[in-house]
Amino acid sequence: MEQPKNILASLLKRNEEWAQDVETDKPGFFEQSARGQDPKVLWIGCADSRVPESVLTAVPPGTIFTTRNIANQFPLDDDSAESVLTYALKIGIKHVVIVGHTECGGAKECLSATRSPPIQPFPPALTRWLSPLMNLAEKYKNEPANFEEAIQLLVIDNIRKQFENLHQSPALQEAWNNGSEISIHGWLYELDKGLLSELFVSEGVKQVEGEGEAA
Amino acid sequence: MSQSTEQCENCVKPWPPAPGTIPPALQKLLDRNERWSEDIKAIGPKFFYESANRTQQPKVLWIGCSDSRVPEGVVCDVLPGVLFTTRNIANQFKPEDISVQAVLTYAVHLEIEHVVVVGHSKCGGAEAALKYVRGIPQDPLPPALFEWLQPLINLAQKYRFLPTNFDHALNDLIRDNIVQQHDNVLRSKALRNEGVKIKQPITVHCWLYDLEEGVLSEIASRFIGLEGFVE
């Protein structure tokens, strides 16, 4: 890609060209878009630069309402996540996808830390944020011995945990209570293939894993 | 899994899709993803392999709004790997928000060179805040949202009466909001070499995305050297 020094200039230029292309291909798109948004999907994903939701699903702006943070967390008492979900429900979202991914840096840091505690602790801001993931990582302190295998399992456990946390969201509880039909899904993005797949989906109080394993 | 069933005993049951099916809106995303993945492989067979096997090396952190109309990678027309991204309601960077503080800390650790704080026209959060202070009727704000929007509501006080035109006031508020978040980023621990060391000079930028044109523009920026932000 472009030289790092000019990266912002190149982003602005690419944006300008993109805007022109869109206006040429779909005249009136932006004017229409500015009138309001009506996405049906909320994506709760990782801040990782390699997992941009609308690029990898090749959708136009206006499709996916999005929040992204380190290691795709939906913590139980997080104002940021809860306000996003609240707003998403208010504007008529029908599906919530919590999306984890392979090679997750947050998961790797946590697993490394449990297996060989670092000389330098994480900065406090990261320690606090990653503490739920650290707890999950404890389970894989010794087994499986292979780090890569353990990371795969931890990434999936993490998605499952956020999926479970979502069930407890006051906003979602209220929506279901009012009869709103909102489904929630746990997805995995495999970086080495560029592919999304569904792992978990809401079904009553049982979670059914996509591979066919019943709860 | 039974653990979660017990937790859910008092919870309202979620709505499940019909057994064995994926809702159409989601199936569309999965189908498009599959095609996209093939398209990328056709152009650059090594892209995904390399992306997965190297740690990410983005140069830019995007702090933006959750609004579905502002997907950073599409708007900047870049491939995965370029923009480290956090998005929340009204692109907030609050000092007490552990979510964004963790993102910025990790970004500095990744040796990001630029932080862009990106607000946009027609921001629903800003609009709700302005309507609230002007007493303009709107659907009641759920408590979680009302709490989240407090900094914006405080900023909006300045625009209670002037400009009289709502849209002009909204645009001014949106700009003020971007600048405030930019200032919050400058004052964060991460940019003062507290907890994480700045190894790479960083510039923090205020960007505005004009929804009606699809165009990004820079309002202001501030350079931070290795010594970190100094007032």
Please state, for a pLDDT cut of 70, what percent of chain B lies above it: 91
Q: Which residues pair with B204 in a beta bridge?
A: B115, B222
Clarify whether residues A69 and A15 are in a common domain.
no
Contacts of B117 (CB under 8 A, 6+ apart): B63, B91, B93, B178, B181, B182, B185, B204, B205, B206, B207
d(C-alpha B104, C-alpha A126), whole Å: 10
For chain A, the average pLDDT equals: 91
Count of C-beta atoms within a 10 Å radius of residue A178: 9
Distance from CA of A104 to the nearest CA of B (A): 9
Residue A214 included in any domain: no
Does B10 reach chain A within 8 Å, measured CB to CB?
no
Distance from CA of A156 to the nearest CA of B (A): 13
- CB contacts < 8 A, A to B, total 318
Token representation of residue B127: 């609009």
Residue B56 confidence (pLDDT) above 90: no
Clarify whether residues A83 and A117 are in a common domain.
yes
Task: Say which of A34, A49, A79 has its CB closest to residue B122.
Answer: A34
Clarify whether residues A22 and A115 are in a common domain.
no
pLDDT band at A75 (very low <50, low <70, confident <90, very high): very high
Clarify whether residues A1 and A89 are in a common domain.
no
- Burial class (CB within 10 angstroms; exposed 0-12, middle 13-18, buried 19+) of A6: exposed
**Residue A144 CA to its chain's centroid (Å):** 26
Does B174 reach chain A within 8 Å, measured CB to CB?
no
- Is there a binding annotation on residue B65? yes
Domain membership of residue A125 as a residue range: 38-209
Determine the residue type at B5: T
3-state secondary structure chain A: CCCHHHHHHHHHHHHHHHHHHHHHHCCCHHHHHHHCCCCCEEEEEECCCCCCHHHHCCCCCCCEEEEEECCCCCCCCCHHHHHHHHHHHHCCCCEEEEEEECCCHHHHHHHHHHHCCCCCCCCHHHHHHHHHHHHHHHCCCCCCCCHHHHHHHHHHHHHHHHHHHHHCCHHHHHHHHCCCCCEEEEEEEECCCCEEEEEEEEECCEEEECCCCCC
- How does pLDDT run across A128-155, given as a tens digit for each residue? 999 999 999 999 999 999 999 999 999 9
Q: Which domains does chain B have, with CATH numbers?
A: 56-224 (3.40.1050.10)
Residue A70 included in any domain: yes
Kindly state the DSSP code that residue B158 receives in the 8-state scheme.
G
Asked if A211 and A192 touch (Cβ cutoff 8 Å), the reply is no
d(C-alpha B229, C-alpha B231), whole Å: 6
- Is there a binding annotation on residue A110? no
In this prediction, residues A10-20 reach a mean pLDDT of 97
Clarify whether residues A161 and A119 are in a common domain.
yes
- How does pLDDT run across B88-145, given as a tens digit for each residue? 999 999 999 999 999 999 999 999 999 999 999 999 999 999 999 999 999 999 999 9
Clarify whether residues A203 and A134 are in a common domain.
yes
Q: Coil, strand or helix: which one is B14? A: coil
Residue A120 included in any domain: yes
pLDDT band at B3 (very low <50, low <70, confident <90, very high): very low
Task: Say which of B35, B73, B148 has its CB closest to residue A55.
Answer: B73
Clarify whether residues A77 and A178 are in a common domain.
yes
What's chain B's Rg over C-alpha atoms?
Answer: 21
- How does pLDDT run across A148-177, given as a tens digit for each residue? 999 999 999 999 999 999 999 999 999 998
Contacts of B2 in chain A (CB under 8 A): 215
- Burial class (CB within 10 angstroms; exposed 0-12, middle 13-18, buried 19+) of A10: middle
Residue A6 included in any domain: yes
Clarify whether residues A95 and A122 are in a common domain.
yes
Clarify whether residues A88 and A189 are in a common domain.
yes
Does B112 reach chain A within 8 Å, measured CB to CB?
no
Clarify whether residues A95 and A165 are in a common domain.
yes
Residue A198 included in any domain: yes
Clarify whether residues A18 and A54 are in a common domain.
no
Task: Say which of B77, B99, B213 has its CB closest to residue A14.
Answer: B77
Contacts of A5-13 spanning 24+ positions with Cβ under 8 A: A7/B59, A7/B60, A7/B113, A7/B114, A8/B60, A8/B114, A8/B116, A8/B203, A8/B205, A8/B218, A11/B60, A11/B76, A11/B78, A11/B82, A11/B216, A12/B216, A12/B217, A12/B218
Asked if B114 and B91 touch (Cβ cutoff 8 Å), the reply is no
Q: How does DSSP assign B87-147, residue by residue? A: EETT----TT-HHHHHHHHHHHHTT-SEEEEEEETT-HHHHHHHHHHHT---SPPPHHHHH
Residue A54 included in any domain: yes
Does B18 reach chain A within 8 Å, measured CB to CB?
no
d(C-alpha A53, C-alpha A126), whole Å: 24
Residue B21 confidence (pLDDT) above 80: no
Clarify whether residues A23 and A66 are in a common domain.
no
Domain of A138, CATH number, reads 3.40.1050.10
Token representation of residue A73: 């967390």
- Structural domain tally of chain A? 2
Can you tell me the ipTM of this complex?
Answer: 0.93
Instruction: Specify the pLDDT at position A5.
Output: 55
- How does pLDDT run across B143-156, given as a tens digit for each residue? 999 999 999 999 99
Rounded to two decimals, the pTM is 0.93
Put simply, the answer to whether B71 touches A196 (Cβ < 8 Å) is no
Does B179 reach chain A within 8 Å, measured CB to CB?
no
